[in-house]
Amino acid sequence: MSESHEKLLQQYLSDCQTAKSTADLEALRVKYLGKKGEVTELLKGLGKMAPEERKAVGAAINELKNRIQSSLEESMREVALSEQNEKLNAERPDHSLPGLYPGTGGLHPVVQVAREVADIFLSMGFFMAEGPEIEEEYYNFEALNVPSHHPARDMQDTFYLESGQVLRTQTSPVQIRTMEALKPPLKMIGLGKVFRKDSDITHSPMFNQMEGLVVGENISMADLKGTLVMFVENMFGKRPHRFRPSYFPFTEPSAEMDIQCIFCEGKGCKVCKSTGWMEVLGCGMVNPKVFDAVKYDTEKYTGFAFGMGIDRIAMLRYGINDIRLLFSSDIRFLRQF
Ligand code: DAH
């Protein structure tokens, strides 16, 4: 190799030291071996040489070319590999980064309260019964001793369907369907949606009720009280309660049960409208006319029934004053539960 070839090789080697990327190496390839590259130019110069000189010089240039070429190839392999590693490293997931919050959703406050209420009765040996939301007038009214002149049957209160059926206004028809299907003794609860033409801050055209019914021999008002006191103590804690006389067509006698306001402890506040009491449910001894409708022997069997608004219980429980919040699907409201 001549001195000038040696110089060119040294120049290439020092260029090669500073080449950091495959792009740099490609530029070197063009600079030395490309169409107008320095080595290529040397090869072009061969044509002007005398034949005997050409042989020796040609061999020397070819050796130079081969050395540069194999050096470039090796560098190319190394740099390409390290570039690939760098890329893989950059793409590696960082497991120490904080995770994204998975939107898991949650139970609606009414569902939570419904389950809590149901669990208390199920633990006392009640079973869960079901009935349709589109109900026959007979089950929703007649069989429950609600006569046709009763104001509850007014078009203004009840959603009547063209078929002559109604959207059930209460869960009490579940009592009738259950008694038609089963012989006493029985202890049932029924839970579900009910519908009334009513809408303001304490009324919604759709709301949720839970019904209860116990039938057997020697069932008395004492059983009613014992069961319902046990329920409210489980639900709201031990606190004063009272039964007020009331009226329902399907029970006789009838009562409403109040508990001491859980927000003011009876002192009087906005939630209890300054009465110190919160109404929790309606109840009573099953009217024998209801037993007649389902052909239960009124000489042998007695029973008690109760009904409560689940949404109302949820409102009392959480101190919510507008029932419409419960059905608004407002995520800012629902997140609080
Ligand atoms: N069905 C009644 C209502 O919608 C609630 C009720 C009261 C149910 C007393 C009962 C009961 O079973 O005994 O207001």
- Cα 97 to middle of ligand 1, angstroms: 56
**Structure tokens of 270?**
């906005």
**Structure tokens of 85?**
């590693």
DSSP label at residue 251:
E
- Cα 250 to middle of ligand 1, angstroms: 8
Least confident segment among 18-27, 69-78, 112-121, 148-157: 148-157
The pTM of this model reads: 0.71
Could you tell me which residues come within 8 angstroms of residue 35 by beta carbon, excluding any fewer than 6 positions away?
Answer: none
Helical H runs in the chain? 3-18, 22-33, 38-45, 51-91, 109-123, 137-140, 173-181, 221-236, 288-293, 310-318, 331-334
Residue 335 has a pLDDT of: 86
248 close to ligand 1 (CB < 6 Angstrom): yes
Q: Residues 33, 8: contact at Cβ < 8 Å? A: no
- Cα 113 to middle of ligand 1, angstroms: 18
**Structure tokens of 166?**
């109604």
Residue count (the chain): 337
Residue 304 has a pLDDT of: 98
Residue 312 pLDDT > 70: yes
Residue 155 pLDDT > 80: no
Look over the chain and give the mean of its residue pLDDT values, rounded to a whole number: 92
Residue 1 has a pLDDT of: 67
**Structure tokens of 128?**
């869960």
Model confidence at 298, in pLDDT bands (50, 70, 90)? very high
